[in-house]
A and B are shown apart, each in its own frame.
Chain A
Amino acid sequence: MATPTLEKADMAPEPEAGFADSPYITATFRIRRFNPEVSDEAQWQDFQIEIDPKERVLDALHKIKWETDGTLTFRRSCAHGICGSDAMRINGKNRLACKTLIKDLNPEKPITIEAIKGLTVLKDLVVDMDPFFQAYRDVMPFLITKGNEPTRERLQSPEDRERFDDTTKCILCAACTSSCPVFWNDGQYFGPAAIVNAHRFIFDSRDEGGEQRLEILNDRDGVWRCRTTFNCTDACPRGIEVTKAIQEVKRALITRRF
C-alpha cells in the first residue's frame, strides 16, 4: 500500500517460493588443460561448480582458480571487454570470457572452454600471441604522413571519420584471426585482425601510407587468401564487420590498380 517497491516485495515470495532462495545452479565446465611440465598431451577436465547463471564465464573461471584448482591458467586483465586478454573458444566459438553470460550458453550441458586455435598453447588457455602481433606490426598500424608536422591538430570531417569508424573498435583479442580456417592451416596469412587494423589507416583521410599498406596486403599472404567464410565477423566481440573490411581492402586494391 505504501510504495510500489514494498507491494512488490509482499507479493514476490508467493509465486516464486523455493526458487527465489538461491539463484545458483550447478554447471559443469569442461576445460582443455595442457601443462608441458607434467605431460605432452592436452586433456579435458570437468569442474562442477555452483554459480549464478547471470554471471559470466570469466567469473566461473575465477571461482575454479580461486576455490578449486589454483593451477588453472588463463589470461585476463580488465575483465570488462576492453583489454582483449581473455579470448577463448567457449562451446566451440571464439568469445571473450568476460562478455559471455553463463545463461546464454545452455548451462544444462557441460560448457567447453579451450584455448584459441592456430597459436601455440603455452599452458591451459594461454597461447603464444607473438605471431599474431608480428602480423599486426607488419601492416604498420600507425599514422604515416609526409612533410612538416602541422602546428595544430590534424582535423577531419565527421564523414571522413565515419569511413573507418567500424575498424577503430578492434581490441586485438585475436578472436577473429584464431577463428579463421586459412590462418589455422597457414600462419603466414596476415589474418583478419591485421587487415582490420590496416583498414583503419588505409581509409583514414589524414594518413598518407595507405599505398604502402595496400602493397603489403597485395602479397601472397595478404587479403587475396581470404575465403569470406565470415568466421571472423561471427567471432568479433566488438561487432566489427571484419569480412566487410577485408572486402573493402580488396576493392581498394582493384580500383587503385585499374
Chain B
Amino acid sequence: MSTETSAIGDVEGSALYDVDNPAPVIEPPRKRTGKTPKGSRTNFEMYAWLFMRLSGIVLVVLVLGHLLIQLVLDGGVSKIGFAFVAGRWASPFWQMWDLAMLWLAMLHGANGLRTVINDYAERDNTRFWLKMLLYTATVFTVLLGTLVIFTFDPNIR
C-alpha cells in the first residue's frame, strides 16, 4: 500500500502532501468552540446599539443645521472668522449646540469605529491596541473641544 502511494508521488514529482501527511486546512478567523467564553452579562452592547440610533437622529438636526448656518446662510463660508465664532459663542444656546454636536459626533463615530475594529481585526492584540488608540484619540478630542468651548476668551491676543 505505502509503496504504491510513494511511487505515484515520485512520478508526479510533487508529493508534498499525501494521505498520511495532508495539507493544512484554512481555518476561519476566531472559530466558535466549546471553550468560547460565555457572555459578560452586561447591557453595554445594547446601550451602544441604542445610542447609535438615538444620537444619529439628533445629529441629523445638529449637523445639517450647523452646515446650513456656517456655509449657506448670510454670506456663506466667507463670513467665518474669529469674530464670527466669538459672536456665536457669546450665546449659551450656540455653546450648548456645539457641545452636544461635539460629544454626540465623537462618541457616535468612535462607537462605529469600535464595531469596525471588532469585526475586522482578527488577532486579539491588534484589536486591543487599535481600540486603545481609538479611545485615546476620542477622549483627547472630546476633552480639548469641551475645554475650548467653556474657556473661550473673545478678548485673547
Most chain B CB inside 10 Å of its own CB: which residue of A36, A121, A122: A36
Q: Is A40 an interface residue (CB 8 A)?
A: yes
Q: Within 8 Å of chain A (Cβ to Cβ): is B129? A: no
B17, B38, B48, B120: the one contacting A39 at CB < 8 Å is B17
> Which residue in chain B gives the minimum CB-CB distance to A216?
B39
Q: Is A218 in contact with B43, judged by CB distance below 8 angstroms?
A: yes
- The answer to whether B39 touches A120 (Cβ under 8 A) is no
Taken together as a complex, chains A and B put the C-alpha atoms of A130 and B30 apart, in Å, by 13
Known contacts A40-B24, A120-B26: does B49 contact A250 (CB below 8 Å)?
yes
Q: Which of B25, B31, B34, B43 contacts A257 (CB 8 A)?
A: B43
Q: Decide: A187 near B25, CB < 8 A? Known: A219-B39, A224-B46, A253-B46.
A: no
A46-85 interface (Cβ within 8 A of B): none
- Which residues of the partner chain A approach B120 to less than 8 Å between Cβ atoms? 185
A26 at interface, CB cutoff 8 A: no
Interface of B is mostly: loop
**Distance in angstroms between the alpha carbons of A40 and B22 in the assembled complex:** 8
Q: Report A-chain residues with C-beta under 8 Å of the C-beta of B24.
A: 36, 40
User: In the complex, how many angstroms separate the beta carbon of B93 from the nearest chain A beta carbon?
Assistant: 31
Q: How large is the interface on A (under 10, 10 to 19, 20 to 34, 35 or more residues)?
A: 35 or more
Contact of A188 with B45 in the complex, beta carbons under 8 Å: no
Cα distance, A119 to B120, chains bound together (Å): 17
The reply to whether A187 and B119 form a contact with Cβ atoms under 8 Å apart is no
* Chain B, 7-43, CB within 8 A of any chain A CB: 16-19, 22-34, 36, 38-41, 43
Contact indicator A39/B23 (Cβ below 8 Å): yes
- A134 and B29 form a contact (CB under 8 A): no
Asked if residues B25 and A37 are in contact (CB atoms below 8 Å), the reply is: no
Closest Cβ of chain A to B116, distance in Å, is 10
Q: A182 at interface (Cβ–Cβ under 8 A)? A: yes
B50: interface (CB < 8 Å)? yes
Contacts of A222 in B (CB 8 A): 39, 45
- The reply to whether A134 and B33 contact each other, CB–CB distance below 8 Å, is yes
Which residues of chain A are within 8 angstroms of B19 by Cβ–Cβ distance? 37
A185 in contact with B25 (CB, 8 Å): no
CB atoms of A186 and B118 under 8 A apart:
yes
Q: Is the Cβ of A215 less than 8 Å from the Cβ of B48? A: no
Residues of B within 8 A of A131 (CB): 28, 31-33
Query: How many angstroms from the CA of A122 to the CA of B50 in the assembled complex?
Result: 40
Contact partner, B46, options A39, A120, A254, Cβ 8 Å: A254
The closest CB in chain A to the CB of B25 belongs to A120
Top 7 A-B pairs ranked by shortest CB distance?
Answer: A219-B39, A40-B23, A36-B22, A36-B23, A224-B45, A131-B32, A187-B31
Given A37-B17, A134-B36, A254-B46, 4 extra CB contacts under 8 A: A39-B23, A134-B32, A188-B30, A224-B49
Q: Which residues of A contact B (CB under 8 A)?
A: 36-40, 118-122, 128, 130-131, 134-135, 138, 182, 184-188, 215-216, 218-222, 224-225, 250, 253-254, 257
Chosen A-B contacts, 8 in total, with CB atoms closer than 8 Å, are: A36-B25, A38-B23, A40-B24, A131-B33, A134-B36, A185-B119, A218-B45, A220-B45
Residue ranges of B at the interface with A (Cβ–Cβ < 8 Å) = 16-19, 22-34, 36, 38-41, 43, 45-46, 48-50, 115, 118-120, 122
